[in-house]
Amino acid sequence: MNNMAEHQHAHVEHPDMYDPESSKIGMWLFIFTELLLFGGLFIVYSVYRYMNPDAFHLAAEELNTFIGAFNTVILLVSSMTIAMSTTALQKGHKKVAIALVVITFIIGIGFLVNKYFEWGIKFSHGIWPGSEQMLNEMSQGEILFFGLYFVMTGLHALHIIVGLIIMGFAIKGVANGKVNAKRPSLLDNCGLYWHLVDLIWIFLFPLFYLIH
C-alpha cells in the first residue's frame, strides 16, 4: 500500500511519458493515412490516364522535366541530410545534428521556390484550375491532367510546408537539449515525415514529368 502511494506520488512529481516505441508506432500509423490519401489520388490519376491516354500524353509535354528532375535531386539530398542528423544526435554531435536539419530546411525552402517558379510559368501561360484557357481550349483529358497536377503537387507542397514547421520544432528541441541522444523521438519522427514527403515525390515525378 505504502509502495503504491509512493509510486503514485512519483508519477505526479515526474510525469515522464516518453516512450520511443509508441511514438514510432503513432508516426507510422499517421504515415499510413497519408499513404492512403495520396494512394487514392494516384488511383484517380491512373484511371483517368487509362481513359484519356492521348490527352495525358499531350498535356505532360507541357511540364518541364528539368525543373522536376532538379527538385527530385534536391529532395533526395535533403532526405539524406535529415537521416544523417539522427546519426549525429545519437553520436552526441549536437551541433552537427542541428546543422544537418538546418540544411534540410533550406533545401525544403529551395524546393518550394522552384515550385513557385514552375507554377508561375503555368499561370503566365494561362493554365490554372478553372482558367479560361483551360476551359475553352483544352480537351476534357487535358483539364483532368492539369487538375490532378495542381491538386497533387499542391498537396505535396503543403506537406513540405508542414515538414518545415516540424523541422523548426526539431531544431528548437535539439538546441535546448530536450531532444537528445536518449530522447530522439521528435527528430526521428520529423525525419520519418520528411521521408514520406520524399516517397510521395518519388512517384509524382515519373507520373507527371516523365511519362509522355
Partner 1 sequence: MSEDKHHHIVPYRLYVIVLVALLVLTFASIGITSIELGEFTVAAALLFAVVKSVLVLTYFMHLKYDKPYIKLMVAFVFAIFVVVIVITFLDYLYRV
* C-beta of 30 vs 169, nearer to partner 1: 30
Note whether 69 binds partner 1 by CB under 8 A: yes
The residue assigned the cell 503537387 is 153
Task: Please enumerate, as own/partner, the contacts of 134-137 that have beta carbons within 8 Å and a separation of 24 or more.
Answer: none
Among 39, 120, 126, 168, contact with partner 1 (rule: CB under 8 A): 39
For partner 1 (CB under 8 A), the number of binding residues is 42
Among 90, 114, 131, 180, contact with partner 1 (rule: CB under 8 A): 90
Note whether 65 binds partner 1 by CB under 8 A: yes
Note whether 35 binds partner 1 by CB under 8 A: yes
Q: What CA–CA distance (Å, rounded) separates 202 from 109?
A: 18
Q: What CA–CA distance (Å, rounded) separates 160 from 206?
A: 19
**Residue range at the interface with partner 1 (CB under 8 A); choices 3-11, 82-90, 125-133, 149-157:** 82-90
Q: Site map for partner 1, 180-199, x if CB under 8 A?
A: ----x---x--xx--x--xx
| Residue 68, helix vs strand vs coil | helix
Q: What CA–CA distance (Å, rounded) separates 61 from 208?
A: 9
Among 73, 113, 158, 162, contact with partner 1 (rule: CB under 8 A): 73
Q: What CA–CA distance (Å, rounded) separates 165 from 8?
A: 36
Among 23, 45, 59, 79, contact with partner 1 (rule: CB under 8 A): 79
Interior/surface letters 67-97, b for 16+ CB within 10 angstroms, e for the rest: ebeebbebbeebbebbbbbbebbeeeebeeb
* C-beta of 28 vs 117, nearer to partner 1: 28
**Residue range at the interface with partner 1 (CB under 8 A); choices 6-14, 46-54, 154-162, 172-180:** 46-54
